[in-house]
Amino acid sequence: MRLSATLLWAFICGQAIAAEPFGRAAIEGADGIVPGQQVHVVVDIFAPEFFTSPPQYPLFEVPDALVTLPDDRAQNLVQTIADVQYSGIRRSYVIVPEKTGSFVLPEIAVDLGYSANGSAIKAQLHVALPAFEVVAAPDQTARPFAARDLTVTQSFDRSPSTLKAGDAVVRTIVVFAEDTQAMLIPPVDLGRAAGVAQYLKPPSLTDGVEQRGIGRSVETGSTRTETVVYTASAEGSFQAPAVSYQWFDLDAHAGATATLPAVDIVVAKAASTERIDPKFDPPGEDQGKNAWQVVLLSCAAVLACFAAIVAWQKGSAIRAWAERRRMSRRNSPRRRLRRLRTIIRVGPDPAIYRALQDWSGSLGFRSVSDWAEAQGNPRLSAQVTILERRLFRSRDMQLDRGKFADSITLAATNKGRARKSALPALNPVA
């Protein structure tokens, strides 16, 4: 009996000791990868029981390739191995090779926390990422760009055939593609429209765009929007050039070309203004009324001159008052909060920290950490900790810029101001 109990205890302890976190990685669709194609490297991290802190997936570099870690929501997994239930988290790296050859991916170190027998444990997993081959694709252009379901569309803000001399028409061309990123979509060659002035605007890049397909299906992809403004100064008939856009179709595994037709721009002569001869009324009964009008106009001119003299003499004071009003509106709490959120969403880490220092200092806090702790918002404190870790320690953690910006509100930031001193008043008044 005692031997059986001992063996059972050893078996249970052996299972508890063997229950360790582990990781695995794989490539989705590793066959026939061509330059410019997105390669999805899926990494699963498993831990017994549950995670106490999520895995921190690091970025890495690969020669002749672009590596990104999209901000897509992580996928939760559950798996049972040897009667032990593991919780898992899956995320995917996106690697875009720029040329053919063998690509060997490095081993990554993933920090995580998990629970074992009621205790929180910190651990670091080393996961070996698989290698893949990139082969030359037939009919692929010199600059690799591969995608799925690419479409090119154009629109005008007004009819280009009903213009007059001096008018402008805006041509907007949108490139939509799936299984790619907006920053990888090459620019559109818009050519030159002879006879009209042409102004190009900076392109607009957007990811996660939903576009309705055939029937009720909705595809999600990325877009690059090119905008050109045509201005005609003389009458005549002109033409916005046709567009030819080359790309590599991953579904057909062949080169493809999307085209837009040329558009005629017809400019008519500007309408001339008709001359109106002055009409003089003979003197008569209305002469007295006209005299009163002249007197009123003279008084208005005198008042205007007086106002101009006062404005000239008091110009510096008026400008100072206007500047104070402008700075007051500019530094209002709502506008300062809007500028702070914009810096958090698009600015580099040092700029974010300087903006937070100015913000917390204006509220009377000695440091950004003191301000974040005083807000009582765990999500805000976590993002501030990650930011300081990236600036002063290592860049192994990623900021959630959206959550960071949304966690700062006027209601939360005013908490530090409303504190009342615990000491009695120095000179109490009855």
Sequence spans of domains, the chain: 19-134, 146-268, 330-416
CATH no. for 146-268: 2.60.40
Reported pTM: 0.55
User: What confidence category does residue 379 fall into, taking pLDDT thresholds of 50, 70 and 90?
Assistant: confident
The pLDDT assigned to 215 comes to: 57
Q: How many Å apart are CA 127 and CA 60, to the nearest integer?
A: 13
User: What confidence category does residue 276 fall into, taking pLDDT thresholds of 50, 70 and 90?
Assistant: low
In 3D space, the residue among 203, 170, 199, 207 whose CA is nearest the CA of residue 187 turns out to be: 203
The pLDDT assigned to 287 comes to: 57
Residues with Cβ within 8 Å of residue 16, at least 6 apart in sequence: 116, 117
User: What confidence category does residue 253 fall into, taking pLDDT thresholds of 50, 70 and 90?
Assistant: confident
The pLDDT assigned to 271 comes to: 65
The yes-or-no answer to whether 19-134 and 146-268 have a common fold is yes
Could you read off the pLDDT of 197-236 as tens digits, one per residue?
888 999 999 988 888 766 566 788 899 999 999 988 888 8
Highest mean pLDDT among 143-147, 169-173, 250-254: 169-173
In 3D space, the residue among 207, 261, 186, 267 whose CA is nearest the CA of residue 231 turns out to be: 267
User: Average pLDDT, stretch 272-286?
Assistant: 55
Could you read off the pLDDT of 96-137 as tens digits, one per residue?
998 889 999 999 999 999 988 888 899 999 999 999 999 987
- Under CATH, what is the fold of the domain 19-134? Immunoglobulin-like (2.60.40)
Query: Is 70 exceeded by the pLDDT of residue 143?
Result: no
Looking at the chain, the whole-number percentage of residues with pLDDT higher than 70 is 83
Average pLDDT, the chain: 82
Highest mean pLDDT among 34-38, 41-45, 180-184, 190-194: 41-45
User: Average pLDDT, stretch 383-410?
Assistant: 84
User: What confidence category does residue 14 fall into, taking pLDDT thresholds of 50, 70 and 90?
Assistant: very low
Query: Is 80 exceeded by the pLDDT of residue 79?
Result: yes
Query: Is 60 exceeded by the pLDDT of residue 418?
Result: no
